[in-house]
Structure 1
Amino acid sequence: MSEYTVVVLGDTPPVRLDRLAGRARVQVSDAASLPALLPGADVLLVWDFQSDALRDAWPGSGPRPGWVHTASAGVDRLLLPDLVESETVLTNARGVFDQPIAEYVGALVLAFAKDLSGTWELQRQRRWRHRETRRLAGTRAVVVGVGPIGRAIGELLRALGVRVEWVGRTARAGVRGADELPDLLPDADWVVCAAPLTPATRGMFDRAAFARMAPSAYFVNVGRGPLVVTDELRAALLERRLAGAALDVFEQEPLASDSALWDTPGLLVSPHMSGDTVGWRDDLARQFEDNFDRWAAGEPLFNVVDKRLGYVPG
């Protein structure tokens, strides 16, 4: 059995990749060493999915990895022209984050509906003040993105009695097309963005989109940061044209300490953690090992990204 060379990009690589033992030579790389290691690699595991190192390191010609796997659902950082045009197979971590992110969104929606932040603040002030909160059953949600994450979010909200409309790139059974989104926003109580970042979706939630939403509506982004024009979201919150919002992803991460988003009224900021539950790194490592077994056996890989679309179809 021939030994493969697997290069792992990341300062803190997986603790264990036991199933590769005896079949692969694993080389851990940082940004500086990546250009020298890539031409000799059969497989690249992008463990540090927020790294931009591949942009400068990907070989424009000559030997290159036949397979690149990223430990993330989003692949926009990896869609380099030379990689897209190459025969290199790109796979992602689809399936690992679906339920955790859905649970996180469900927690946000419940926290907003039941005004938990208000309760905590009143407790801090030692004030006993009775209030009425929103009932979830019968409210409407628009979930933008129909991959496994978007599907899981919608199904969880449905279990809470929320009426859900999914929006995808194109209309099909049970899914509204992206061109219908403007007409869906005015009636939505909850708008959740879980879409991939593509040229068509970049900046899709802007001033015009927020202007179509009701002042009582809430917005949540667990997709990619550049899907939202954050200055225009902040303006909508300051002008009370939205009831509230939550952002778990940002165009620049980590979010700068002097960003105006931190103290924007009605905005909850979290550090790209919606899918990160206890054991998530082990789940990612096992998923890569499962796909490596297929690779070594010459079998088709799962989670193959359509590099022109920018996501896994279906």
Structure 2
Amino acid sequence: MRNILLLIFTALISVPTLGSPSPEAQALIEQLSLREGPTPVRSHPNWAPKKIVVAMPAQLVQAVPGYKDALLAAAGDVPLTFVTGESVSAELADADALIGICRPQLIEAASDSLLWVHNWSAGVDRCPMEAFDNRVLSNSKRLMGPAIAEHTIAMLLALSRNLPLLVAAQQDGQWLGGAARNMPFGELEGKTMLVVGLGGIGTEIARRGHALGMQITATRNSSRTGPDFVKYVGLGDELHKLAGEADVIVNALPLTPATTGLFNKAFFDAAKPGAMFLSIGRGKSTDTDALMAALESGQIYGAGLDVTDPEPLPADHPLWKMDNVIITPHLSASGAGTIKRVSIVTIENLRRYVAGDALLNVVNTQAGY
């Protein structure tokens, strides 16, 4: 099976020409509404592609055997330096671009010649934003949305149908009756889902919730606009009001100073009694003690957590023992589709950087996402 997957990846990732995106990249741009940065990178006075460092994750090397060759082709005559582990910092002193994971120690090791950093993942909360006043940061936002949205819906369905209880009974060979058949949360059709953070990931979650017959509301900081399947889009200051009207609340926020600890006691007190809480954003946006208290009191019906605080969650943490909680180890973005999308857009952004064009998925370093 694994060999078959490798062959599929190789066939699906084609090499772009220096003048235009590959068909796969163009399809993703349209499908996920990927946006270009505001200006071509060639307009930056430091743009002069000479050395690009690529710190390629092992899973990409293994999953996409033709990936390195595709990157080399996209770079044209500009040299790529492929590195792993501790050798990344040593290579950044004279590099103008880095494709890897943005971390403070790497940016500190770079010189002023470093202009562009492409972050493999969507989250950039570990990246020192103050170092990007005169640099460009891009990432994998929106590319992980389909996988994360499916994971979110999986947790929603599992909790609403008592699957944690039933799976535990299966392990003990029990055929449960009685209370196990009550399904107190009820059917999803007609219920309201609040998506907190209607970005690329939040939009994909909202799309799937709507397909299940749910009424979708959302919040976002940028505007009140949203797709047709979202009934109402509020601003951040409407969070508590909308939470009081929602049967399911989804945390799809990036981690910023403004979102750290946002889901606290006051929030859970404001939530509709018996609502479900699903978190796939960042663990530190939720006050764990406040969530546990809300779960224990019944104010919150159940929680699906792909992210926690602390993370990883210690083995003796009481959250593990709560029968109305599903915990997964920050893997909602995982899957073959995500690897494929990240690979395609990284290649496309490398092509654009060498050509001096506007990059995709440019991070607003003032906002932090």
TM-score by length of 1: 0.88
Q: 1:144: which partner in 2? A: 196
The alpha-carbon deviation at position 60 of structure 1 amounts to 8.0
The alpha-carbon deviation at position 257 of structure 1 amounts to 2.5
Amino acid at match of 2:251: C
Deviates more, 1:111-120 or 1:239-248: 111-120
* Residue 107 of structure 2 is aligned to residue 40 of structure 1: no
Q: 1:72: which partner in 2? A: 121
Alignment equivalent of 1:26, drawn from 71, 78, 81: 81
Q: 2:360: which partner in 1? A: 302
* 8 Å Cα contact 1:79/1:307 also seen in 2: no
Q: 1:14: which partner in 2? A: 60
78 and 107 in structure 1: CA distance in 2 versus 1, 3 angstrom threshold: same
| Matches of 2:219 and 2:289, distance apart in 1 | 24
The alpha-carbon deviation at position 3 of structure 1 amounts to 7.2
Amino acid at match of 1:103: E
| Matches of 2:71 and 2:272, distance apart in 1 | 53
Write out per-residue CA displacement over residues 204-249 of structure 1, whole angstroms, 9 at most, x where no aligned residue: 1011111112331110110111111112112221233211101111
Q: 1:157: which partner in 2? A: 209
* Residue 314 of structure 2 is aligned to residue 267 of structure 1: no
| Matches of 1:147 and 1:199, distance apart in 2 | 18
Count how many residue pairs are aligned between Structure 1 and Structure 2: 303
Q: Percent identity?
A: 34
80 and 158 in structure 1: CA distance in 2 versus 1, 3 angstrom threshold: same
* 8 Å Cα contact 1:17/1:289 also seen in 2: no
**Greater fraction of residues in helix:** 2
Amino acid at match of 2:206: G
Write out per-residue CA displacement over residues 255-303 of structure 1, whole angstroms, 9 at most, x where no aligned residue: 3323333223422110111111135334322221111111111111010
197 and 233 in structure 1: CA distance in 2 versus 1, 3 angstrom threshold: same
| Matches of 2:288 and 2:118, distance apart in 1 | 30
Write out per-residue CA displacement over residues 113-147 of structure 1, whole angstroms, 9 at most, x where no aligned residue: 22222333344442241624311111011100111
| Matches of 1:153 and 1:116, distance apart in 2 | 21
* 8 Å Cα contact 2:246/2:272 also seen in 1: yes
SS of equivalent residue, structure 1 residue 120:
helix
Unmatched tracts of structure 2, length 5 or more: 1-17, 19-47, 62-66, 227-232
Amino acid at match of 2:175: R
Unmatched tracts of structure 1, length 5 or more: none
243 and 180 in structure 1: CA distance in 2 versus 1, 3 angstrom threshold: same
SS of equivalent residue, structure 1 residue 199:
coil
> Which structure carries more relative contact order (alpha carbon 8 Å, separation 6+)?
2
Q: 2:136: which partner in 1? A: 89
* 8 Å Cα contact 1:17/1:285 also seen in 2: no
SS of equivalent residue, structure 2 residue 349:
helix
SS of equivalent residue, structure 2 residue 189:
coil
205 and 284 in structure 1: CA distance in 2 versus 1, 3 angstrom threshold: same
SS of equivalent residue, structure 1 residue 146:
coil
| Matches of 1:29 and 1:239, distance apart in 2 | 48
* 8 Å Cα contact 1:194/1:222 also seen in 2: yes
| Matches of 1:299 and 1:80, distance apart in 2 | 22
| Matches of 2:310 and 2:95, distance apart in 1 | 30
Q: 2:64: which partner in 1? A: none
| Matches of 1:309 and 1:241, distance apart in 2 | 32
Write out per-residue CA displacement over residues 168-189 of structure 1, whole angstroms, 9 at most, x where no aligned residue: 1154234201101111112211
* Residue 247 of structure 2 is aligned to residue 196 of structure 1: no
* Residue 146 of structure 2 is aligned to residue 99 of structure 1: yes
* 8 Å Cα contact 1:84/1:308 also seen in 2: no
144 and 29 in structure 1: CA distance in 2 versus 1, 3 angstrom threshold: same
Q: 2:218: which partner in 1? A: 166
| Matches of 2:259 and 2:142, distance apart in 1 | 22
What does 1:137-286 align with in structure 2 at a 5 Å threshold?
137-174=189-226, 175-286=233-344
Deviates more, 1:188-197 or 1:72-81: 72-81
| Matches of 2:151 and 2:132, distance apart in 1 | 33
Write out per-residue CA displacement over residues 87-132 of structure 1, whole angstroms, 9 at most, x where no aligned residue: 2110010232111111111111111222222333344442241624
SS of equivalent residue, structure 2 residue 289:
helix
243 and 205 in structure 1: CA distance in 2 versus 1, 3 angstrom threshold: same
| Matches of 1:116 and 1:62, distance apart in 2 | 53
| Matches of 1:153 and 1:267, distance apart in 2 | 20
TM-score by length of 2: 0.76
26 and 34 in structure 1: CA distance in 2 versus 1, 3 angstrom threshold: closer
RMSD (Å), alpha carbons:
2.4
